[in-house]
Amino acid sequence: MAALEIVPPPGGFHGPVKRSITIAGHPTSISLEPIFWGALETAAVAAGLPLSALVAAIDHARISAEDPPNLASAIRTWLMAQQHR
């Protein structure tokens, strides 16, 4: 069996970038890696929603979970689940 070669993604690896966003009238900061910000923006456009509305919807689903993760984790998880649909 051939070994899997791991290479950096296009543009390299990047740490989280913090952005402020308003959810239900309340400002909050979210730290996500640029690749996740890009995927989130693409998902918002595909859904025909402003970015803040999509994040609010993800947040609403997150807080209804039995053991809610933090918002950034919920966003990453939601985005990965969307890729596998």
- The DSSP H or E segment spanning 21 is strand 17-23
Among the listed residues 75, 61, 68, 78, the one whose alpha carbon sits nearest the alpha carbon of residue 29: 75
Among the listed residues 47, 55, 44, 45, the one whose alpha carbon sits nearest the alpha carbon of residue 21: 55
Per-residue b or e along 18-31, where b marks 16 or more CB atoms closer than 10 Å to that residue's CB = eeebebeeeeeebe
Answering whether pTM is above 0.95, one says no
What was the pLDDT predicted at 11? 87
pLDDT tens across the length of the chain (85 residues) = 678 999 998 889 999 999 999 998 999 999 999 999 999 999 999 999 999 999 999 999 999 988 999 999 999 999 999 988 7
